[in-house]
């Protein structure tokens, strides 16, 4: 019952804080816009003045795209490098944002403005959450070892190459297990941050271990809540995809319409992130006391 | 063989006595008298092999006794014979093939049973001298003394011109773990390059190359009669037609295969094969053959894809080059885990490849099937030398494959057709050529390319693009005639590159040496482009001209009393970035829709075209009809004066959205 309560609370809290979702979207947009300018410049240099570029508006011209991919290795390498740097910077910014979200969810009072609480929280918890990210290696390393052991065991089942179907399904299983372990560790991290924020704890390592204990003690419930919220994200994606696939971006108008819809979806991801934090915060509160 | 089957099909309602005593002899006399060529072999038989082979699955070996009859078709006496012993390429990690291809994939050390080799126990002239003591290994290509893939024996007396020699050879072939084309994988056996095969005495010398990473085929035509014995549970398939089958007392079964007019013999055995047979008939041209599909039971769901592709292949090649001349064609589907045996050609038998989960939209099984069947023509029937001019089989066959795939599966989607993602075979052929360096030409000894990749992109891809360019330039009808004539003239013979060029020139009535010399012999590229495009408004004359203020002049500089309209100096510069020279068409389009078509011999590095018009340029394009399939950069073939921003925006925003999704996933 606490799962449903927490889920509803998470959705409710996220919905009541549209400005927070907008901030998350803006940060995301800011980082991604760097990629837009880089990629746009690359495309302009590669085929911006070619007649073939006009064909790309209607359908992918494989000649142009394959020529671009095979002859733009250096530029693409720079783009990938820029992308990786942006991901790292975004990750660091994400630590700040999480502090802001939790501070707003835990401590916001009526007389305080959203920005004041959000940014104060980001600053207040940044050091602790950053350390938490480093300490999380004590979860990631056993997680990777566990995955390698499972992988090795599954490898025995695929030794006989005659059963290609089984090999294919086991490949899918391997991916599913890897995602499961990654999500499990991320979930433990969420509860560790929640514990730090709610108890204003400075003992980061202890919070991480206690969060791990909390999750494993209530594994089914915590997973159920996590995947219920995750399914909400999948539903949002399906709605986005359904709408997006009803029209093709063949003119400037439809290109911008498509982009606008995609931005709504990205904003919904921010909303979901708040829902995750709020829902798990509620669950932690209900189950801890 | 084929003629016999025609007679056999005439099974009318005739009195047997009359039939046997009058009609049949009468028909035979008629044919012998008036159609002697009908009974001639399709090729001049230089060799005849009679082999008895026994598969010993537990040892991964084939024990064989071979009777080889060889005709000295040269003008001089022959005092030595050279043989391919190609399984020795798998004997150790220092053979030429292993050095060229690198070690086995992965870090797994080969088990002792994984190596392959062939042991000659005895070689002798039938009813004559034992040649075994004269056996020596030679390395004509690279002097690698660790390579034992070519053997020489010395004869006690020379074989005179047009004289035959009969040899008896006892051998054991230890098959390798399947790697690079032949070997075993579990109970699956692909038995190729497995017997002592004599080289080709060509232009007065032995042409008997070592086994290389990239090439392995060149042999004389002849007759093969092979009896294969294997445990009864094995399903067996082989080159040629099965003419006998008998159960033996030891629980084994023997199958006898016979084929004329081929230059190799391969076979396969696996207890998990499902054998499917289907007749294929075509009226124009007349083709009647039996399709035999040996498909591993794990892939049975894919059988219709294989059979459909095979039918398409037989139809395409028969209609475009010549009727398929053999009574059988066997398609072998290698067992799962034996994919290295996939995609190989042997006379009347080839291997394709698939996986049980292969989506229909990925047409790899179709492409491989059509390609390998096609080798039955370009390698099998037209027996070019793969070691020295591999483009004559791989390049011509890749060209044929692109055309066949485009015809049956769609030009723009013949390889991948999944949702909005559609890619044609031609696009795949272009990828390696676009991204390649200028390292090797198309014609070169196969083992002398800088890398295996360079070999592949030149002899497969670039050669195919060369022929497609030629086709666009000469026209489809002329090219079709060239291909048919080349096939007809050189079937069951050994052509060289010059022979193809000669046929192309004869049929087209043009001098094509300038084209082939560039593309076949130089490692350069073809790349023409529109370098720049300008439209500038012509300013009215200002200043002092001959001591006077100028009168109004029109855009040509002539005096005019009327006020001037706007005029533009439109300039197009076409550029040659590549080193190959090819005449170019250039299409120039103005803002009002007016089009001008120019031609350029393409020799200089650039050519300027200037037009004085009351309108601006809209675009310019070299090769507007896309004849230059070899052009490595289509994108720079055209330029517009005012670029459209929407396409760039569409892809840049799309990529940005993708990146946003990635970021939000990282942060969740």
Listed residue (B412, B429, B417, B438) closest to B371, CA to CA: B429
Residues 257-276 on B with a CB inside 8 Å of A are: 272
Q: Cβ contact (<8 Å) for B664 and A86?
A: no
Closest CA to B185 of B340, B53, B352: B340
Q: Say if residue B160's pLDDT is above 90.
A: yes
The pLDDT score that the predictor gives to residue A288 is 80
Tell whether B561 is covered by a domain: yes
**Domain check: are B613 and B584 in the same one?**
yes
**Which one, of B586, B600, B318, B580, lies nearest residue B470 by Cα?**
B580
Domain co-membership, B34 together with B48: no
B477 and B604 share a domain?
Answer: no
Judge contact between A13 and A285, C-beta under 8 A.
no
Between residues B641 and A115, which one has the greater pLDDT? Answer: B641
Going by pLDDT thresholds of 50, 70 and 90, the confidence category of residue B651 is very high
Q: Rounded to whole angstroms, how far apart are CA atoms B89 and B70? A: 25
Test the A interface: residue of B415, B527, B575, B646 with most A CBs within 10 Å: B646
Do B584 and B435 belong together in one domain? no
Residues of B in contact with A90 (CB under 8 A): 663, 666-667
For residue B254, give the H/E element and its range: strand B252-262
Same domain, B17 and B53: no
Sign, CA dihedral B287-B290-B296-B298, equals positive
> What ipTM was estimated for this complex?
0.93
More confidently predicted of B59 and A167: B59
For residues B409 and B391, give the distance between their C-alpha atoms in angstroms, rounded to a whole number.
25
pLDDT digits (tens, 9 = 90+) for A173-214: 999 999 999 999 999 999 999 999 999 999 999 999 999 999
Containing H/E element for B652? helix B646-667
The answer to whether residue B653 sits within a structural domain is no
**Residues in chain A with pLDDT values less than 70:** 108-110, 289
Q: What is the number of structural domains in chain B?
A: 4
* Boundary-marking domain end, from B246, B271, B296: B271
Contacts of B33 (CB under 8 A, 6+ apart): none
Contact with chain B for residue A255, Cβ under 8 A:
yes
Q: End-to-end alpha-carbon separation of chain B, Å?
A: 72
- pLDDT one-digit tens code per residue, B374-409: 999 999 999 999 999 999 999 999 999 999 999 999
User: What would the mean pLDDT of B551-557 be, rounded to a whole number?
Assistant: 55
User: Do B410 and B450 share a domain, yes or no?
Assistant: yes
In this predicted structure, what is the pLDDT of residue B554?
Answer: 54
Cβ contacts (< 8 Å) between A251 and chain B: which residues? 646
Which residue in the set B430, B654, B668 is minimally distant from A66, CB to CB?
B430
- Do B118 and B259 reside in the same domain of the chain? yes
| Amino acid A289: pLDDT | 65
Inform me whether the pLDDT recorded for B8 exceeds 50: no
Answer yes or no: is pLDDT of B156 > 80.
yes
The most distant pair of C-alpha atoms in chain A lies apart, rounded to whole Å, by 69
Mean pLDDT within B612-625 = 96
Contacts of B637 in chain A (CB under 8 A): 50, 52
Grouping H, G, I as helix, E, B as strand and the rest as coil, residue B357 is coil
> Bridge partners of B484?
none
Residue B3: pLDDT band with limits 50, 70, 90: very low
Whole-number pLDDT of residue B110: 83
What φ, ψ does residue B344 adopt, rounded to 5°?
A: -130, 150
Taking the CA of residue A90 and the nearest CA in chain B, the distance in Å comes to 7
* pLDDT level of residue B278 (50, 70, 90 thresholds): very high
Identify the closest residue of chain B to A255 by CA–CA distance: B650
Is A253 in CB contact (< 8 Å) with chain B? no
B116 and B252, same domain (yes or no): yes
Q: Give the domain range for residue B26.
A: 2-39
Q: Which residue of B has its CA nearest to A268?
A: B664
Chain A contact probe: residue of B186, B587, B636, B663 with most A CBs at under 10 A? B663
pLDDT tens-digit profile of B114-140? 999 999 999 999 989 999 999 999 999
- pTM of the complete model beyond 0.90: no
- Closest Cβ–Cβ partner in A48, A55, A272 for B648: A48
Q: Rounded CA gap, B99 and A108, in Å?
A: 71
Please, which residues 104-163 of chain A have a Cβ atom closer than 8 Å to chain B?
161-163
In the prediction, which pLDDT does B553 show? Answer: 55
Q: Are residues B27 and B59 in the same domain?
A: no
Question: How many Å lie between the alpha carbon of B322 and the closest alpha carbon of chain A?
Answer: 33
Torsion angle in degrees (nearest 10) through CA of A198, A204, A207, A213: 150
Which A residues, 14 through 33, put their C-beta within 8 Å of a C-beta on chain B? 28-29, 31-33
* Residue B22 resides in a domain: yes
Q: How far apart are CA B350 and CA A204, in angstroms?
A: 65
Question: Above 70 in pLDDT, residue B555?
Answer: no
Closest to B185 in 3D by CA, of B307, B253, B268:
B268
B530 three-state secondary structure: strand
- How far apart are the C-alpha atoms of B588 and B609, rounded to whole Å? 10
Q: Give the sheet arrangement for strand B287-296, strand by strand.
A: B273-282, B287-296, B328-332, B349-351, B344-346
Residues 213-242 of A with CB under 8 A from B: 233
Band the pLDDT of B25: cuts 50, 70, 90. low
| Residue A163, helix vs strand vs coil | coil
- Mean pLDDT of chain B, nearest integer: 91
- Nearest CB neighbour to A50, from listed B636, B651, B662: B636
What are the phi and psi torsion angles at B651 (to 5°)?
A: -75, -35
Same domain for B574 and B471: no
The confidence score (pLDDT) of residue B644 equals 87
| Section B567-583 average pLDDT | 96
Residues 6+ away with beta carbon under 8 Å from B394 = B378, B386, B459, B460, B463
Bigger pLDDT: B367 vs A74: B367
Mean pLDDT of B468-481: 97
DSSP B274-305: EEEEEEEEETTTTEEEEEEEEEEGGGGGGHHH
CA distances from B589 to A53, A54, B584 (A): 17, 15, 16
Instruction: Break chain A into its structural domains and give their ranges.
Output: 2-288
Q: Which residues of B7-38 are buried (b: 16+ CB within 10 A; e: fewer)?
A: eeeeeeeeeeeeeeeeeeeeeeeeeeeeeeee
| Half-sphere CA count of B481, side-chain side, radius 13 A | 10
| Facing A255 at nearest CB: one of B299, B638, B650 | B650
What is the per-residue pLDDT for B15? 45
**Could you tell me if B300 lies within 8 Å of chain A, comparing CB atoms?**
no
Instruction: Give exposure, B462-490, as e/b (b: 16+ Cβ within 10 Å).
Output: bbbbbbbbbbbbbeeebbbbbbbebbeeb
Judged by CB atoms closer than 8 Å, whether chains meet at B652 and A39 is answered as yes
From CA B504, how far away is CA B517, in angstroms rounded?
13
> Do residue B222 and residue B107 come from a single domain?
yes
B365 in any annotated domain: no
Query: Considering only CB atoms, which chain B residues are within 8 Å of A49?
Result: 533, 639-640, 643
Domain identity same for B213 and B97 = yes
Question: Has residue B293 been placed in a domain?
Answer: no
**B668 with A272: Cβ contact below 8 A:** yes
Q: Identify the CA nearest to A97 among candidates A208, A237, A89.
A: A89
% of chain B surpassing 90 pLDDT = 83
Instruction: For residue B200, name the pLDDT band (cuts at 50, 70, 90).
Output: very high
């Amino acid at each position: 019952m606490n799962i449903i309560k927490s889920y509803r609370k998470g959705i409710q809290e996220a919905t009541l804080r549209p400005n927070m979702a907008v901030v998350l979207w803006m940060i995301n947009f800011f980082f991604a816009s760097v990629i837009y300018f880089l990629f746009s410049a690359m495309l302009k240099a590669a085929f911006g003045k070619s007649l073939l570029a006009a064909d790309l508006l209607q359908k992918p011209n494989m000649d142009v795209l394959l020529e671009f991919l095979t002859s733009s290795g250096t530029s693409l390498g720079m783009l990938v490098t820029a992308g990786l740097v942006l991901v790292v910077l975004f990750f660091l910014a994400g630590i700040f944002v999480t502090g802001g979200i939790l501070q707003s969810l835990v401590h916001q009072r009526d007389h305080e403005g959203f920005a004041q609480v959000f940014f104060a929280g980001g600053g207040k918890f940044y050091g602790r959450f950053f350390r938490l990210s480093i300490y999380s290696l004590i979860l990631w390393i056993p997680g990777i070892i566990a995955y390698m052991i499972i992988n090795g065991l599954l490898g025995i089942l695929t030794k006989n190459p005659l059963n290609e179907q089984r090999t294919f399904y086991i490949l899918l299983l391997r991916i599913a297990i890897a995602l499961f372990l990654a999500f499990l560790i991320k979930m433990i991290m969420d509860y560790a941050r929640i514990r730090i924020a709610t108890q204003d704890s400075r003992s980061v390592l202890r919070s991480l271990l206690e969060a791990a204990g909390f999750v494993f003690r209530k594994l089914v419930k915590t997973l159920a809540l996590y995947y219920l919220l995750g399914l909400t994200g999948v539903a949002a994606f399906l709605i986005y995809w359904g709408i997006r696939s009803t029209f093709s971006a063949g003119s400037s108008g439809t290109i911008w319409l498509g982009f606008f819809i995609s931005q709504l979806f990205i904003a919904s991801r921010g909303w979901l992130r708040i829902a995750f934090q709020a829902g798990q915060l509620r669950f932690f509160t209900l189950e801890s006391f | 063989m084929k003629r016999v089957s025609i007679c056999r099909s005439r099974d009318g309602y005739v009195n047997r006595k009359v039939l046997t005593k009058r009609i049949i002899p009468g028909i035979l006399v008629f044919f012998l008298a008036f159609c002697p060529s009908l009974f001639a072999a399709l090729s001049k038989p230089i060799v005849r092999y009679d082999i008895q082979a026994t598969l010993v699955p537990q040892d991964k070996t084939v024990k064989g006794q071979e009777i080889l009859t060889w005709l000295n078709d040269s003008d001089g006496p022959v005092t030595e014979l050279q043989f391919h012993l190609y399984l020795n390429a798998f004997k150790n990690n220092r053979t030429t093939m292993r050095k060229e291809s690198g070690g086995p994939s992965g870090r797994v050390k080969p088990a002792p049973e994984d190596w392959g080799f062939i042991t000659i126990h005895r070689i002798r002239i039938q009813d004559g001298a034992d040649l075994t003591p004269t056996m020596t290994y030679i390395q004509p290509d690279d002097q690698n003394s660790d390579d034992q893939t070519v053997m020489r024996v010395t004869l006690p007396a020379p074989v005179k011109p047009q004289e035959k020699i009969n040899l008896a050879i006892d051998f054991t072939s230890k098959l390798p773990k399947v790697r690079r084309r032949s070997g075993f994988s579990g109970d699956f056996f692909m038995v190729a390059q497995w017997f002592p095969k004599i080289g080709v005495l060509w232009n007065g010398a032995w042409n008997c190359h070592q086994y290389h990473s990239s090439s392995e085929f060149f042999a004389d035509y002849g007759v093969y009669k092979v009896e294969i014995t294997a445990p009864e549970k094995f399903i067996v398939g082989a080159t040629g037609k099965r003419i006998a089958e008998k159960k033996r007392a030891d629980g084994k079964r023997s199958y006898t295969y016979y084929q004329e007019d081929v230059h190799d013999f391969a076979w396969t055995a696996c207890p998990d094969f499902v054998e499917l047979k289907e007749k294929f008939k075509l009226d124009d041209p007349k083709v009647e053959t039996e399709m035999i599909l040996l498909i591993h039971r794990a892939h049975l769901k894919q059988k219709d894809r294989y059979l459909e592709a095979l039918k398409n292949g037989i139809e395409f090649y028969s209609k475009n080059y010549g009727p398929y001349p053999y009574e059988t064609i066997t398609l072998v589907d290698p067992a799962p885990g034996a994919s290295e045996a996939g995609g190989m050609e042997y006379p009347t038998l080839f291997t394709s490849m698939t996986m049980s989960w292969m989506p229909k939209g990925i047409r790899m099984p179709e492409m491989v099937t059509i390609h390998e069947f096609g080798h039955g023509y370009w390698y099998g029937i037209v027996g070019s030398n793969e070691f020295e001019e591999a483009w004559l089989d791989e390049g011509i066959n890749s060209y044929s494959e692109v055309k066949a795939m485009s015809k049956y599966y769609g030009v723009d989607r013949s390889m991948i057709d999944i949702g909005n993602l559609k890619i044609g075979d031609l696009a795949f052929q272009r990828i390696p050529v676009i991204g390649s360096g200028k390292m090797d030409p198309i014609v070169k000894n196969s083992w002398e390319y800088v890398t295996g990749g360079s070999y592949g992109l030149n002899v497969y891809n670039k050669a195919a693009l060369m022929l497609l360019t030629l086709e666009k330039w000469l026209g489809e009808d002329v090219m079709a005639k060239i291909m048919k004539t080349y096939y007809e003239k050189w079937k069951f013979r050994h052509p060289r590159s010059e022979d193809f060029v000669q046929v192309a020139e004869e049929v087209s009535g043009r001098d094509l040496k300038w084209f082939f010399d560039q593309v076949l012999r130089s490692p350069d590229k073809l790349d023409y482009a529109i370098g720049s495009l300008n439209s500038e408004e012509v300013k009215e004359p200002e200043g002092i001209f001959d001591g006077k203020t100028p009168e109004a002049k029109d855009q040509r500089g002539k005096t005019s009393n009327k006020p001037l309209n706007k005029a533009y100096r439109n300039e197009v510069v076409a550029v040659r970035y590549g080193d190959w020279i090819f005449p170019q068409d250039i299409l120039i389009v103005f803002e009002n829709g007016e089009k001008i078509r120019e031609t350029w011999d393409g020799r200089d590095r650039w050519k300027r075209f200037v037009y004085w018009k009351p309108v601006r340029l809209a675009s310019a394009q070299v090769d507007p009809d896309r004849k230059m399939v070899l052009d490595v950069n289509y994108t720079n073939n055209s330029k517009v004066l005012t670029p459209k921003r929407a396409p760039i925006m569409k892809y840049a925003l799309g990529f940005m959205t993708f990146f946003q999704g990635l970021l939000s996933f990282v942060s969740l």
